[in-house]
């Protein structure tokens, strides 16, 4: 009888551990409200009008880290975590995580183009990831973690394609870059609890073992691009 209880307990524990392959936290019902615009984050960052800023949208694995990386770069006013690249309207985190919606965890960047150029954003984007990893980044696997540049015009498309071509020719990587270059369609902001996640949840095991080390690795490659007032987590 005791052996049966032990077996049942082990099976239950295994099922729980496999619900998310990267151990990300599941929100409570109260946390799961959608942030349909950037107003909450704008207040926190003293930004009154993002309409005056240029926009760029990227995907490169877990959006928690990508958001923090770009928010530490000079000339960037705001970064919002969300979903792009799929067909489902207003997808949830769980739906995107299932890999069935076609979306990837993405970030929408609001930046001052007079302070930071689009090619510079591309530099940060590629520094923050392994662009040769297919459908994943680090321990996160699935199409929802694929690497994508969502271009808004032909200049961005050409800049992205040239940057990728130059990187492939440079021999920096052992394999070819698999980053997709896709026309921007729509961006859905993620649930409120995802925004500024690593700042609000520094003790989360995933943040400690994946997000913060990745953030620091990226920042070591671009020290001259960083804001002097960036968070202590990012130093």
Strand order in the sheet with 76-84: 180-183, 147-151, 54-60, 104-111, 76-84, 187-189
* Nearest Cα to Cα of residue 79 among 99, 65, 97: 65
Q: Which of 56, 59, 62, 122 is catalytic?
A: 62
Q: What are phi and psi of 71, to 5 degrees?
A: -70, -15
- The candidate with the shortest Cα–Cα distance to 194, out of 105, 101, 84, is 105
Residues 6+ apart with CB under 8 A from 233: 68, 198, 199, 202, 212, 215
Residue partners of 142: CB distance under 8 A and separation at least 6 = 21, 97, 99, 135, 136
DSSP, res 27 = P
Q: Find the helix or strand (DSSP H, E) in which 10 lies.
A: helix 2-17
- Concerning whether 18 is annotated as a catalytic residue, the answer is no
Phi/psi class of residue 103: alpha, beta or left (left: φ > 0; alpha: ψ in -120 to 50)?
Answer: beta
- What are the residue numbers of the active site? 62
């Amino acid at each position: 009888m005791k052996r049966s209880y032990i077996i049942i307990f082990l099976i239950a524990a295994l099922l729980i551990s496999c619900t998310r392959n990267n151990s990300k936290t599941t929100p409570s019902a109260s946390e799961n409200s959608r942030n349909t615009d950037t107003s909450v984050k704008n207040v926190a960052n003293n930004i009154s009008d993002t309409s005056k800023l240029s926009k760029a949208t990227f995907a490169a694995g877990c959006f928690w880290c990508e958001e923090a990386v770009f928010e530490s770069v000079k000339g960037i006013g705001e970064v919002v975590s969300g979903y792009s690249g799929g067909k489902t309207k207003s997808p949830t985190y769980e739906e995107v995580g299932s890999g069935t919606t076609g979306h990837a965890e993405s970030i929408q960047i609001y930046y001052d183009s007079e302070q930071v150029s689009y090619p510079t954003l591309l530099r940060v984007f590629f520094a923050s990831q392994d662009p040769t990893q297919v459908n994943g980044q680090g321990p996160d696997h699935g199409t929802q973690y694929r690497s994508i540049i969502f271009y808004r015009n032909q200049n961005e498309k050409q800049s992205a394609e040239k940057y990728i071509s130059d990187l492939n020719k440079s021999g920096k990587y052992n394999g070819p870059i698999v980053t997709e270059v896709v026309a921007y369609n729509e961006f859905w902001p993620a649930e409120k609890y995802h925004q500024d996640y690593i700042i609000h949840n520094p003790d989360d095991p995933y943040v400690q073992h994946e997000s913060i080390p990745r953030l620091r690795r990226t920042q070591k490659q671009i020290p001259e691009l960083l804001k002097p007032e960036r968070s202590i987590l990012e130093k």
